[in-house]
Each structure stands twice: as C-alpha cells, then as structure tokens.
Amino acid sequence: MVATLTLASGNRYGARVAPSLDLRTVADDLLVRSPDSLAIVDPGGSWTYDELRARILATAAGLRAAGVNASEQVALVAPPGRLALATTLAAFRVGATIAPMNPRFSPGELAELAGLPGVRPAAVVADDEHATAAAAVAPIVLREDLMAVTGGDTAPASDTAADGALLFTSGTTGRPKPVPVPRATLTARLAAYVEPRARQTRMLCVPIHHVGGFLGALVTLVGGHRMVVQPRFDAGEWLRLVEAHRVQSTFVVPTMLARILDHPGLPATDLSSLTTVTYGASPMPDDLLARVAEALPGVGLVNTFGQTETLGGVTLSTPADAVHPVHRKSVGRLVPGVKIRIVEPGTDDAVADGAVGELLVHSPQNVVDGWLRTGDLVRMDADGYLYPEGRLSDTINRGGEKFGPVEVEAALRTHPLVHDCAVAGVPDPEVNERVGAVVVTKGPVTTDELREWCAARIARYKAPELVVFADQVPLTDLGKVDRKAVVAMVREG
C-alpha cells in the first residue's frame, strides 16, 4: 500500500518553506522579537528573551574559549532547563553539533554512547549534579558557570556544520543508535514556526535528549512563546505548574496522562487555561483516551506519530478524531509532504489495502535520503488514518506464530481488574519465545484467570503464559514500555 498527501507550500507540518531562520543567529533574532517577554521558567528561576540572548552569547564565548570549533560536537548531560537550552543555541551559533545525552545514565552508559561510531564530542556541558558522570564523555567538562562569561560572544557566527544535532534513539529494545540531524533539515523543520503568532505558555515535561522534547523546546523558543520546564515529570507538580503559570499547551506521553488522571489533586486543580494536549511516543490505550476526554472536556487532544529518524511526527490527528468511535484509535493522517509505503516486513512488496505491514516513510523532514524503514508495524484504513500495530523488533515468535505485544496488552486491559500491563517475548528453548507479562491489578486475580480471559478474545497461543504482578510496569524516561526490563522482571519472577 502506498499513500501520500500533496505538499502544501508553507504548511507548518512537514512542508518545506523558504527558511526565515538561521540557527547561528537565533540569539539575535530572539532579542528583536520579544526582548522583555518571559522565555524560560525552570525550578532555578526564569529568564526573559533578553536574558536568554545574553546567556547564549556568554555560553558561545565559553565554548570558543574551551577550544570548541565549528563542525565539532558538544555533548550535553543536563536535565531540561536554562543551561541545556542556552548550550544548545550557543552550539548552533558556534557552528558546532549539539549531542544531548540522557542525564540519568551512569558513567558507563555515557561512555558507551560517547564510543559509538560517529560520536566524537570535543567537550561536554553538564550541570553540577551530573558533572562527575559527564567526565566519561569527553576530557573537557564545562559546568554551569559557562553561562557567566563576561562580555559574551562577539565573534561572527561561525560557518555552519553539516549536522545541527546528534540525537540518540531510545534503545528500548536494543542499543541506542546515534542519529545525525542535518542542519539544513533541522532549519527547515523549525522555520515554519518563526512567523508571528499569538504567544502561548507551553509546558516542557519530556526530556530534550528525546526528539519530542528537543523539537518541542526549539519550536517554543523560535516562536517566541513562554516555556515552563518540568525537568522530571511528576503528576502533582505538573498540575501545580499548569495552574500557577496558566499553561495553555503541552506534549505528554500516555503514561503521564494516566498518572495525571489518577492523581488525587486533579479535581481541585484549575486547568481552565489548558487548551491543547498533544500526545505520542507510545500507544494510547482506548480506555485511557476515553478517561482523558471525560476529565478534560475543554481540552483539544492531538496525537502525533514519528521517530527520531523522521525528526518528529509524520501524522497528526485532530481533537475531533479523539472522540470519533473509530479514528480515536489511530494516530491520525499523514501531514503534507509525507509519503508512505506499507510493505511485507523485510521486503519491498506492498501489502493489501488495510493489511498490517512495515511502514516506510519518505518526507522532507527525514534525516536520511530516500525511503526510511521505520521498523513500525501499521495499517491504514480507507479514510487515510494510520493505526500502529507495534514495533517489528518487539514481535513475539512463539513456535513460529508471530504477533505483536500490543495486541496482547489490549486484551489484558479489557479485564476489569487490570490497571496496567506490559508484554514481551521471553526467550524459551522449546518454542523460541513465550508470552510474558508484567501486570498491575486493581484486585486479586490469578495468572490462569488472565490467560483464559485473553484466550476468549485473541488466539490462545497469544495469551500470556508467564505473568508477574507488580506495582507498576517498567518504563523508559519518556514513558515507553521498557521491554528488556519486562523480560528481566518475568525471568526473575
């Protein structure tokens, strides 16, 4: 199956526009546009756009003084906030490539990232908390006083590097992979957001070492909006920040929404400022979406679907889709300029209309040329809506029968006593893999009861055989199911 939407010139979702943005001079552009408006609020304080510009120039001067040149890489080991964003924009000015890394990684994990092919940081910037671990990344460690260089950067903006950023895939099913993001592609992706629009207050509560947080932060700043940063998600604090700062829009993952709905402080929190919640990065259970729509009736729910190599979303749903009886289970339709093919996994042979296959993407925002094999299993309906069916790498092979864990999770979640669950294939010498599950329950239930419940809804061979009951399912920093951890928990249990 092949699908496309005609490219609409100037459309902000994936279309190429004439760039009105130069990543090297973002600091100067920010000052001209909204100098006195608040730019960033984080737990340590706040900056106006004028103050942000001054810090960018100071940080750029500090990078040059440390010997960082154009076309070199600057690693970043710090949570979202003023240091991380000033460093990112300063690296653009210097002409360097910013490489955000997960600040929760151990020194050994950070060293592994730094040793991957194509990763060669000239220096690493870290906040005080993570500076010791960051020493495993590069010999030059620059800390928070980097932003206080007297006088700021007076050198002309450097020639642009080939890559604007080096992002890392999440590594939920395997080793993280570095993904170079060409500067021209990143510039074109952001340029559509520069034009003057009504300013908003937006919440950043996902990490910027993930493509969603990285793009979300840059889109907010180049658009001149106010950004409220929650460095690490906590449902109670999220509610407090939305109310205190009158947040209007945010990006979250489904797990975050579930914790917000379950928080006892929700009924007493004033969320009347909130107009849009965009979600993505992992599947949204249908029952959870229904709960969100009921709890936040005045909020537009928007779904997006993509990956690091597509530089964010290639589909988009609308608030009307979120309450549609069928389309709400989709991730929306293709954004303009995106072409897809749905093929038999591992081949170029198109599947029949409506059948499940591997997703191939071709778009202006891809960070690689040509068709990208995403590794996602999807199907498309007659109305052009895309439905994710799991990751190819997550596929469970039980005795030659292959299926995705998402299908099993959906069956488990229909049980009235199942609150949450995560499924993975557990290696087995007899049948290759057995179906393992980590289940969070609302009351007492047995493995046999869950197995029989699922067997009445999906093929018996897909029903979970190895079940571990836990207080919560294992998740990554972004709220995705950590299937490697599921396998480990099932084996230990």
Between CA 93 and CA 420 the distance in angstroms is: 45
Q: What is the pLDDT of residues 189-239, one digit of tens each?
A: 998 887 656 789 999 999 999 999 999 999 999 888 999 999 999 999 999
Instruction: Specify the pLDDT at position 493.
Output: 82
Q: State yes or no: pLDDT of 445 exceeds 50.
A: yes
In 218-323, which ranges are E strands?
A: 226-229, 249-252, 276-279, 300-307, 312-316
For 400-465, the DSSP string reads TEEE-HHHHHHHHHTSTTEEEEEEEEEEETTTEEEEEEEEEESS---HHHHHHHHHTTS-GGGS-S
Q: State yes or no: pLDDT of 9 exceeds 60.
A: no
Lowest mean pLDDT of 5-19, 273-287, 348-362, name the range. 5-19
What is the share, in percent, of the chain residues with pLDDT greater than 90?
A: 67
Instruction: Specify the pLDDT at position 6.
Output: 32
Residue 47, H or E segment = strand 45-48
Mean pLDDT of 329-349: 93
Q: State yes or no: pLDDT of 47 exceeds 50.
A: yes
Helix, coil or strand: residue 177: coil
Q: What is the pLDDT of residues 294-332, one digit of tens each?
A: 999 989 999 999 999 999 899 999 999 999 999 999 999
Q: How far apart are the first and last CA of the chain?
A: 42
Instruction: Specify the pLDDT at position 348.
Output: 92
Mean pLDDT of 345-365: 93
Q: What is the DSSP letter of 283?
A: -
Instruction: Specify the pLDDT at position 263.
Output: 95
Instruction: Specify the pLDDT at position 32.
Output: 62
381 DSSP β-pair partners: none
Q: If you count them, how many residues does the chain have? A: 493
Mean pLDDT of 30-48: 85
Other beta carbons less than 10 A from residue 395's beta carbon = 16
Lowest mean pLDDT of 23-37, 211-225, 226-240, 269-283, name the range. 23-37
Q: Which of 410, 418, 423, 420 is nearest to 465 (CA)?
A: 423
Helix, coil or strand: residue 31: helix
Q: State yes or no: pLDDT of 10 exceeds 60.
A: no
Q: State yes or no: pLDDT of 29 exceeds 90.
A: no
Q: State yes or no: pLDDT of 14 exceeds 60.
A: no
What pTM value is reported for the model? 0.85
Q: State yes or no: pLDDT of 3 exceeds 80.
A: no
Mean pLDDT of 77-87: 95
Helix, coil or strand: residue 168: strand
Q: What is the pLDDT of residues 150-166, one digit of tens each?
A: 666 667 667 666 899 99
Between CA 470 and CA 474 the distance in angstroms is: 9
Average pLDDT value for the chain: 88
Instruction: Specify the pLDDT at position 156.
Output: 67
Between CA 160 and CA 192 the distance in angstroms is: 20
- C-beta separation of 74 from 112 below 8 A: no
Instruction: Specify the pLDDT at position 19.
Output: 47
Please report which confidence band the pLDDT of residue 481 belongs to, taking 50, 70 and 90 as the band edges: confident
Q: Return the higher-pLDDT residue of 289 and 478.
A: 289
Cβ partners under 8 Å of residue 64, min gap 6: 94, 153, 155
Q: What is the pLDDT of residues 234-256, one digit of tens each?
A: 999 999 999 999 999 999 988 89
> For residue 290, what are its two tokens?
């229904």
Instruction: Specify the pLDDT at position 340.
Output: 95
Q: Return the higher-pLDDT residue of 194 and 272.
A: 272
Instruction: Specify the pLDDT at position 176.
Output: 82
> 29-32: which pairs have CB atoms within 8 A and are 24 or more residues apart?
29/194, 29/222, 30/56, 30/221, 30/224
